Amino acid sequence: MHQIGGHKLLNFASHIDDNTIEQAKETAAMPFVHPHVALMPDAHSGKGSAVGTVIPTIDAVIPAAVGVDIGCGMIAARTVYTESDLAGRNLADLREEIERAIPLSPGNYNANIDRFEFTRDRLADLEASARAENIDLSHSPKWREQLGSLGGGNHFIELCLDEQQRVWMFLHSGSRGVGNKIAQKHIKIAQRLCKSWWIELPNPDLAYLPQSTPEFSCYIRELHWAQRFALQNRAEMMDRFRTVFAAWMGVDANGAADIEVDRVNCHHNYTQKEQHGGRDVWLTRKGAVDAHEGVRAIIPGSMGTRSYIVRGKGNAAGLCSAPHGAGRRFSRTEARRRFTADDLAARMQGIEYRHGAEWVDEIPDAYKDIDQVMADAADLVEVEHQLRQVLNVKGT
């Protein structure tokens, strides 16, 4: 960890590019940042603020820093099984069952919302919360059909083994289209307001909403609802995953819940009220997890590399945060230019996955070395479990 001279900026990444540093400097220069911005070990350049940036702000929030996938994060569940229980079973069949239970890729939603009994209670919870908080969802008439869908990009579902060869279910997703619509709406409002107030910004994606305005209050209400949706979305998909995995293992639906013994569900794109530097702040973790002392979180690698279940150390300099993954080395365009489907197949040797050129931009070589990221994060978290995947399902 070192301070970037002359800026309220601490950097925990040993490998970081100049553009990411410049983006972080712009963010750290905003007048309401306190006590400093922290760059996580996986930090890389993003839209507006760098991904892997932790931003504490007093009486203001930057909607574009939270990003368009509000509440994006990870969920992991340990099962009663070990590697030996998988012997002789066809992982391709399980992958196909997962793909039938969980809609994949952007724009793909559930054809109906009553296939699984547990979906009903989650929708009722979200509907009641939306009514109570007066959340405007008119922009997303199909938000109910989005619950339990994966999305695209680097969103994924995996079956993993830990250091004791115990079987884990693992997935990455967020608030889907409804969260995107909420984010886009408030980013535009913040930009319009800052322009009307003649506020000069380093870039338009640092437009902010002051806490004293009704627009801020509306954003926080809708943001918290989207974060709730994201948590429920991951839980919904995990319950579906568990259902089909149990059936694949020969357990009927009534016994599916009994195969799970541990679960962690955490955001890595979100804002919440916390205390840092002796002040109440809105802490935005854009590509970072909560690492307060004892808090459990998930740090995934890329497809074909290790992932980690961790516990926070409560590092004040790191704003009680930790990295959210490996972090990209190459853009998607550059990865497609450099690598082929054959390169991906070689890197995924021994792992069941959907073959094809459309996943080349997710090849492990397009990401930072997860071992280096975790070494850089040694002061932020301690490792509880180390996972390696045996099956991977990607959104496109």
Residue 353 phi, psi dihedral angles, 5° rounding: -155, 170
Q: Per the annotation, where are the binding residues for Mn(2+)?
A: 69, 155, 172, 268
CA distance 17 to 20: 6
What residue numbers does the annotated binding site for GMP cover? Answer: 154-158, 268-269, 300-303, 307, 324-327, 394
The CA distance from 151 to 25, in Å, is 32
Any idea which residues carry the catalytic annotation? 324
User: For residue 253, what pLDDT is reported?
Assistant: 84
Domains defined for the chain, CATH in brackets: 2-329+367-394 (3.90.1860.10)
* Residue tagged 């209670």 (tokens): 121
pLDDT value, residue 232: 98
- Sequential pLDDT tens for the chain (396 residues): 667 766 799 999 998 989 999 999 999 999 999 999 999 999 988 877 899 999 999 999 999 999 999 999 999 999 999 999 999 999 999 999 999 999 998 888 998 898 999 999 999 999 999 999 999 999 999 999 999 999 987 899 999 999 999 999 999 999 999 999 999 999 999 999 999 999 999 999 999 999 999 999 999 999 999 999 999 999 999 999 999 999 999 998 889 999 999 999 999 999 999 999 999 999 999 999 999 999 999 999 988 889 999 999 999 999 999 999 987 788 888 888 899 888 888 888 888 988 877 778 888 888 888 999 999 999 999 999 999 999 999 887
Query: Looking at residue 5, what is its pLDDT?
Result: 60
d(CA 152, CA 356): 15
Instruction: Provide the annotated binding site.
Output: 69, 154-158, 172, 268-269, 300-303, 307, 324-327, 394
Q: What three-state secondary structure class fits 359? A: helix
Say how far apart CA 340 and CA 73 lie, in whole Å.
28
